[in-house]
Structure 1
Amino acid sequence: MRDRRAKRARILLVEDNRVNRLLLARHVELLGHEVVAVEDGLAALQRVQQEAFDLLLVDIHMPGMDGIELMEKLRAHPELRELPVIVTSAVEGMDSIVRCVELGAEDYLHKPVNLVLLKARINASLERKRLRDQQRELVRRFATREVAQDLEAEGFALGGRRVQATVLFCDIRGFTTLAESQPPEDIIELLNTYYTLMFAAINGHGGVVNQMIGDGLMAIFGAPQPLPAAGQCAVLAAAEMIEMVAQFSEEQRAAGRPEIRIGVGIASGDVVAGYTGTRQRATYTCIGDAVNVAARMEAHTKVAGHAVLFDAATQAQLAGALPSEPIGPVQFKGKTSSVDVFALVLA
């Protein structure tokens, strides 16, 4: 009888022998799982690219694309490499089995398959998959999708690489005064709504939010994945952020709740992007002059009277996509030379 605690799984059976295929499929169904059966590796590869499966049962020796070639294809595919595979074989030779294990096979079953072992190994493989999925979900919950993908593809290592990127800083104007005048529960709710809107605008234009501190955030455009015209994408995101906040403030005003305004600073240039911190606790961020300039730009929006400011390197990437105007060179604190500052012209 199937263990009541075991979750029903969707299993792809890859077996060229029709009798073996029917019998093994029946055994797996009796364990309480859904089975889809195909007769060769090519058909299996096509199915896993089109449908979701929890586990593959794969015969090693098949005509055409055999089990080893199928596993090589799976492991080369970023979205399929973690799919658990149990290999089966009636051949005693160890070379093929060893190769499958090297390619990441979860387990091996000799034919004719022992039903007790079949159940135990399917359950063990599904449990390992559940734990991996849970771990991946935790990473994606506390890191952006792009950073999670970078971790899965490249692994974790402290340090970084030099890239061309655009950095965006944003915060809420007068947040300290606002926080003093409202209950903490209302402030948390406001911040959650604010971040929901900002993430939507930034992610929608290819950016990655890598830091949130109180009411402020930092986003990167162009890392960890390259992004053509990152500066233009950042300014487009900023324009959408301003529009979203304006609409949100209208709703706040209509409900008798406090309105908010934001300031956005943007700068482009060479940065070193990667993981900084310790082996126990690290974050994905970038370091470089563009980071400092973007932060200074965001602070200067309070002085300049413009909601969105950016540097000349960002301005050069706009290509007329959005209207802007120069507001002259500004000597920022900590900079040895002045910075040419441009403002987004808002309707």
Structure 2
Amino acid sequence: MAAGLEGRPARLLLAEDNKVNRLLLTRNLEIQGHQVTCAENGRVALELLQREPFDLLLLDMEMPELDGFGLLERLRADRQLRDLPVIITSALEGLAHVVRCIELGAEDYLPKPVNPVLLKARIGSSLEKKRLRDQQKELIRRFATREVAEDLQDSGFSLGGRHVQGTVMFADIRGFTRMVDTQAPEESIELLNTYYTLMFDAISGQGGVVNQMIGDGLMAIFGAPLPLAQPARAAARAAQDMLELIQLYNAERAAEGKAPIAIGIGIASGAMIAGYTGTQQRATYTCIGSTVNLAARLEAHTKQTAFSVLLDAPTAQALVPEFRTEELGPLAFKGLAEPVPTFALLL
């Protein structure tokens, strides 16, 4: 049995319009231990690729309905399929054809009749590259949100930023430091893990992206890296969901004889600079600017009020008439030159 991906046989798709070639290549590949599905032209191959997962495509270039060049172009334009390894098996001669296939994303180009030993080696190499790419994607998904992972896949990684309009949220657990000093380390870590699980669900459920976690605090962005319709409303709905989940979690804590927890949330909307900051070796996706600073100040100020969620004026204005807010008047915040009109989100 050939070495596949994650201990399983590799699933290969063979796109070839010549029936004899299909039969002979399929037999050769199955002897190597692969699972082979055949398509008689590029159109059928594309439909199969969009419907089922495959590890590699063996592609003839001269086919009816949709030829190999056309299929390569369609694959390159598809986010889900652009990284699929493709090995060309073709009778087309000439360096120009080879170059065009490579430019369109093909891994390799083997002339017909295909040497079976060479084909086996090229398939093995391509599958190993796919395994490494899959591991890289999994690491990105594990340590970045779906939106950031998609941004990396679409535009690649480069340090720098761009101007965006969006909404920023800061949140943390009230009195967490005192709790840490009075309970076992395992209990503190378990509390944080549960807290982040609940908050991530509420925020991502409304299209937000959690981009920073520092102790018991988090920062979330609504509207970057991917655009989001009505980011202020999405952030407000996320805040409501967060508080509801904390209420349900406190009921469980009460049943276990544990003290309830409370959170404070600050939300601000406006212009920001979003992008990847750090170095080529270690970077993070974040937003910077006065909007971000204000959201952090609003969250900190919840400790001095009876309200769990504080908003700036642009956010409050964007919530009308779906949400109820209460104007608290202009408040002075550290680091800000002028008092800021501040509102509370009424729950």
Q: TM-score range by the shorter chain?
A: over 0.9
TM-score normalized with structure 1 length: 0.97
The question of 1:101 aligning with 2:133 is answered no
Q: Secondary structure at the match of 1:317?
A: helix
Work out the CA distance in 2 between the residues paired with 1:223 and 1:21: 47
Task: Determine the structure 2 residue equivalent to 1:158.
Answer: 159
Paired AA for residue 303 in structure 2: K
Work out the CA distance in 1 between the residues paired with 2:321 and 2:197: 29
CA-CA distance at 1:2 after TM superposition: 3.5
Work out the CA distance in 2 between the residues paired with 1:252 and 1:3: 49
Assess if the C-alpha contact under 8 Å between 1:68 and 1:96 holds in 2.
no
Assess if the C-alpha contact under 8 Å between 2:3 and 2:9 holds in 1.
no
Q: Secondary structure at the match of 2:274?
A: strand
Q: Unpaired segments of 5 or more residues in structure 2?
A: none
Work out the CA distance in 2 between the residues paired with 1:320 and 1:186: 42
TM-score normalized with structure 2 length: 0.97
Task: Determine the structure 2 residue equivalent to 1:15.
Answer: 16
Task: Determine the structure 2 residue equivalent to 1:240.
Answer: 241
The range that moved more, 72-81 or 265-274, is 72-81
Assess if the C-alpha contact under 8 Å between 2:10 and 2:55 holds in 1.
yes
Task: Determine the structure 1 residue equivalent to 2:209.
Answer: 208
Work out the CA distance in 1 between the residues paired with 2:210 and 2:220: 4
Q: Deviations over 1:11-56 (max 9, x none)?
A: 1110000111111112111211111101111111111111111110
Assess if the C-alpha contact under 8 Å between 2:4 and 2:127 holds in 1.
no
Paired AA for residue 236 in structure 1: R
Task: Determine the structure 2 residue equivalent to 1:79.
Answer: 80
Q: Unpaired segments of 5 or more residues in structure 1?
A: none
Q: Deviations over 1:71-104 (max 9, x none)?
A: 0110111111101100001233222122111112
CA-CA distance at 1:294 after TM superposition: 0.4
Q: Secondary structure at the match of 1:177?
A: helix
Work out the CA distance in 2 between the residues paired with 1:3 and 1:279: 34
The range that moved more, 201-210 or 280-289, is 280-289
Q: How do residues 212-291 of structure 1 correspond to structure 2 at under 5 angstroms?
A: 212-291=213-292
Paired AA for residue 67 in structure 2: D
Work out the CA distance in 1 between the residues paired with 2:41 and 2:4: 32
Q: How do residues 304-319 of structure 1 correspond to structure 2 at under 5 angstroms?
A: 304-319=305-320
Paired AA for residue 279 in structure 2: T
Assess if the C-alpha contact under 8 Å between 1:60 and 1:67 holds in 2.
yes
Change (3 A) 1:289 1:3: closer
Assess if the C-alpha contact under 8 Å between 1:88 and 1:110 holds in 2.
yes
Instruction: Give 4+ residue runs of structure 1 displaced > 6 Å after superposition.
Output: none
Q: Secondary structure at the match of 2:17?
A: coil
Assess if the C-alpha contact under 8 Å between 1:13 and 1:57 holds in 2.
yes
Report % sequence identity: 61
CA-CA distance at 1:3 after TM superposition: 5.0
Paired AA for residue 204 in structure 2: N
Aligned-residue Cα RMSD (Å) equals 1.4
Q: Secondary structure at the match of 1:340?
A: strand
Work out the CA distance in 2 between the residues paired with 1:248 and 1:328: 33
Work out the CA distance in 1 between the residues paired with 2:30 and 2:49: 19
Work out the CA distance in 2 between the residues paired with 1:116 and 1:319: 69
Assess if the C-alpha contact under 8 Å between 2:268 and 2:314 holds in 1.
yes
Q: Deviations over 1:266-314 (max 9, x none)?
A: 0000000001111221111011111111001101111111001111100
> How many pairs align?
346
Assess if the C-alpha contact under 8 Å between 2:13 and 2:54 holds in 1.
yes
Task: Determine the structure 2 residue equivalent to 1:322.
Answer: 323
Paired AA for residue 307 in structure 1: S
